[in-house]
Structure 1
Amino acid sequence: MTSRFVPPAGAPRVLATAQLAGSFGDGAFLVCSALFFIRVVGMSPGQIGVGLTIAWAIGSFAGVPLGALADRRGPRGTAILLAVATAGSVGAFLTVRSFLPFVLVACLYASFQSGLGAARQALLAGLVEPDRRTEARAYMQSTANAGLAIGAALGGLTLQFDTEGAYLAIFAVDAVAFLVTGVVLTRLPSVAPAPPTAGGEPRLAVLRDRPYAVLTLINTVMLLYMPMLSLVMPLWVVERTDAPRWLVSAMLVINTVCVVLFQVRIARGVTGLRSATRFVRLAGLVMLACCAVFALSAYGASAWPTALILLAGVVLQVVGEMFLAAGAWEISFGLAPDRQQGQYQGFFGMGIPLARMLGPVLLTTLVMGWGAPGWLVLGVVFLAAGLAMAPAVRWAERTRSGSLSLLPEATPVDSSRIPAVPLTDAP
């Protein structure tokens, strides 16, 4: 019987293995990259922030045409090519010694990463039966978190050395990790590219799909939990509470461990669009409760009661995160035409870089500026977005009964015919 930690044999296991390799490299890279550019290259934190904002703005939009390329040329070959291109962009960071080259390479890195995510999602849609896609995506998310945690630990060790050679070694590790991702993806069978578009049909149909755009916008609002956890919570703990500072690290560890342990189990509760919208609605309710608990921490009488309140809040946060992920995956796949999964997944995936780009300014202004009332306002925003998902999904379903449902669908691939690849066989 398949363990809840090891994906089923075949396409889900290969995809999760590829995800593990890439996220391991990214975990090490993300921990060390900022200090490398500050200490070795001599850039300022402001320059890094501006460069990354530009890069992820461009990268968020690049995912759509690169996803469409995966539809036209086949997602397997496109994903392998983009994994290699990502490795090359990471390797190019080794030569960066000033601001403008940094921005250029960062734009390539963000664009290839976004395209790789879209192609990988299209590959999953082509190789896994519709009723198993959300579960397979949950395995990928679980292994991604595990890889990030292990890579971050390696990056933390590198920070202790704090030498140019150590930082460059981490960049090389990340580049090799993406090459390994490409090698692992070669173990999957090809998925036939989508047939040519009919005369008059737009190449990037997703850009004219208003219901899907609304779904993406709602998901982007819900994804504000990411900068909330990574940026606002550390600032809140340090500046607005008496809790010990090490609690910031403990909260991030709790989040990672919970996703690794429970994301797959929660995702199995999503069996279609109805349950998916219910999960997103629950995510909004739980996020509201989470924000209310965080607001309460401002009134903690002493360090340890405040710490317990914050830990309760982060548990609610990760529960809401897992509900949201499971529901959003099902919605993003279920309402995208099968032959256009690449461009649709690229469009839906824009929510992640947009939330990371816009969230810091919005949330620091709201929460750090307004304090506890700001937390409550943020919670209401999460609740409103969660409640809005159901009518948006119904609107999208009605449009699928029209023009989009008439589009020919790609022939699904029977994933039972894909050879089993043990998780430990990844190179």
Structure 2
Amino acid sequence: MRRLVPPAGPVRVLAAAQLADAVGLGGYLVCSALYFTRVVGLSATQVGFGLTVGWAVGLLAGVPLGHLADRRGPRGVAMVLAVVVATALLLFLTVRSFVPFVLVASLYGAAQCGLVAARQALLAALVPAAERTAVRAVLQVVINGGLAVGGAFGGLALHLDSAPAYLTVLAVDALGVLASAALLSSLPPVPATPRAPAGQPAPTVLRDRPYVLLTALNMVLQLHIPLITLATPLWIIEHTAAPRWTVAVLLVLNTASVVLFQVRVARRVHDLESAGRQVRGAGVFLLLACAAFAASAAGSSPWVALVVLVVAAALQVVAEMMQASGAWQISFDLAPPGRHGQYQGFFGSGFAVARMLGPLLLATLVLEGGTAGWLLLGAAFLSAGVATVPAVRMAAPTATPPRR
């Protein structure tokens, strides 16, 4: 575990900031749905619609806010956006009707997506290129550990099932984000990217077609996020004979595996070629995981279903770690110097898409399509993973901004 503690300096500060944020976020993810329905009084449909709108706004805001981080300096922009995220969380404590909820959810989604882009630009500026994927792996371990702690805190609130408990969780989340902003203030300032000379178009990620293609492929692969958090729990309860507590077992397996093995998996990635191979392997493992999840519905033995589901979840988390480490290398190496904010904002839009469209898409494919739906989803994962290798080769010559 000592190897997971970053050395003193900017990386340790970044890790501490991510930890403070993740602890609060873990509680929020566990409790937010019940808070919005039981305390605020919204229907499940209203909550789903509002959160979808919020992440759609975040999807649109990621690139311009990332560009702002490039132009104004990522440290200051990240701190401001962290304060905005905390403000949105505190506003959630006051909303009691649908329209204010949608407005606050939009503010939260925009600020959260922009904050992710600014943090990535900050990491790119403070960490040498050869070390970014390894550092990002350590940060991912910290994030998962923080989510686990926060999730346990949220579980206590679920047990109490009272308005004060849910309000406390949201307030703690806001304080965690504010603490992360305070920690970022101790980092050295990063110079802003100068404006493009007069008469020359400002470089934009949307003109970088190979990068756009890789972002689209990454969006498909990131559907594994709602797969494990939403589709799989519903599948277990509605379509298998496994005990209900299997849901908790699989989530613990996922979190613990990332904490223990993400850094080791990331060591296999050291350049664009190895990153492409890693993502291709992730597509293969995701196909196998989907096939195993589909097989878990066969038979009536709870223990056989449990074993098959554990195998499926193990395949899925291996793919998750491989995809993440490969994607980090690709997103950093192909972003032009000084443009990491807007490039990371665009590449990170896959997360917003997964949160926005993933639940509906996976519910339709998996819960209604059954085995055929699982295999179709696996084929999509495999296709995206395999296509990443030639897409990376096509993008490699454009890793530096072309002359205009």
TM normalised by structure 2 equals 0.97
Amino acid at match of 2:63: V
Cα pair distance change 1:276/1:244, threshold 3 Å:
same
2:164 maps to what in 1? 165
Structure 1 residue 22: deviation in Å? 0.5
2:264 maps to what in 1? 265
1:413 maps to what in 2? none
Partner Cα separation in structure 1 for residue 8 and residue 403 of structure 2: 34
1:57 maps to what in 2? 56
Partner Cα separation in structure 1 for residue 368 and residue 81 of structure 2: 41
1:102 maps to what in 2? 101
1:370 maps to what in 2? 369
Partner Cα separation in structure 2 for residue 44 and residue 303 of structure 1: 33
1:92 maps to what in 2? 91
Structure 1 residue 384: deviation in Å? 0.6
Structure 1 residue 405: deviation in Å? 4.8
After TM superposition, the runs of 4+ consecutive aligned structure 1 residues lying more than 3 A away are 200-204
Amino acid at match of 2:191: A
Structure 1 residue 354: deviation in Å? 0.3
SS in 2 for 1:9: coil
Mean CA deviation greater in 373-382 or 329-338: 373-382
Structure 1 residue 373: deviation in Å? 2.1
Partner Cα separation in structure 2 for residue 235 and residue 169 of structure 1: 28
Where do 1:177-326 residues align within 5 Å?
177-203=176-202, 205-326=204-325
SS in 2 for 1:339: coil
Give 5+ residue unaligned stretches, structure 1: 408-427
Structure 1 residue 4: deviation in Å? 2.8
Mean CA deviation greater in 314-323 or 282-291: 282-291
Structure 1 residue 203: deviation in Å? 3.8
For residues 213-245 of structure 1, give each alpha carbon's deviation from its aligned partner in whole angstroms, at most 9, with x where no partner exists. Answer: 111000000011111111111111111110111
Structure 1 residue 400: deviation in Å? 3.6
Structure 1 residue 15: deviation in Å? 0.8
Amino acid at match of 1:210: R
Amino acid at match of 1:64: V
Partner Cα separation in structure 1 for residue 133 and residue 302 of structure 2: 40
TM normalised by structure 1 equals 0.92
Amino acid at match of 2:161: D
Structure 1 residue 10: deviation in Å? 1.8
SS in 2 for 1:242: coil
Partner Cα separation in structure 1 for residue 44 and residue 300 of structure 2: 35
Cα pair distance change 1:312/1:201, threshold 3 Å:
farther
Pairwise CA RMSD of aligned residues? 1.4
SS in 2 for 1:243: coil
Asked if 2 retains the 8 angstrom alpha-carbon contact of 1:241 and 1:306, the reply is yes
Partner Cα separation in structure 2 for residue 128 and residue 3 of structure 1: 20
SS in 2 for 1:245: coil
Asked if 2 retains the 8 angstrom alpha-carbon contact of 1:4 and 1:265, the reply is no
Aligned residue pairs, count: 404
User: What is the identity percentage for the equivalent residue pairs of Structure 1 and Structure 2?
Assistant: 56
1:68 maps to what in 2? 67
1:332 maps to what in 2? 331
Partner Cα separation in structure 2 for residue 371 and residue 273 of structure 1: 36
Amino acid at match of 1:42: G
Structure 1 residue 364: deviation in Å? 1.7
Partner Cα separation in structure 1 for residue 261 and residue 332 of structure 2: 21
Give 5+ residue unaligned stretches, structure 2: none
Amino acid at match of 2:132: R
Cα pair distance change 1:201/1:322, threshold 3 Å:
farther
Amino acid at match of 1:41: V
Partner Cα separation in structure 2 for residue 230 and residue 165 of structure 1: 26
SS in 2 for 1:47: helix
Where do 1:78-89 residues align within 5 Å?
78-89=77-88
For residues 352-384 of structure 1, give each alpha carbon's deviation from its aligned partner in whole angstroms, at most 9, with x where no partner exists. Answer: 010121122222222222211221121111111
Partner Cα separation in structure 2 for residue 202 and residue 317 of structure 1: 43
Partner Cα separation in structure 1 for residue 261 and residue 345 of structure 2: 26
Cα pair distance change 1:260/1:177, threshold 3 Å:
same
1:174 maps to what in 2? 173
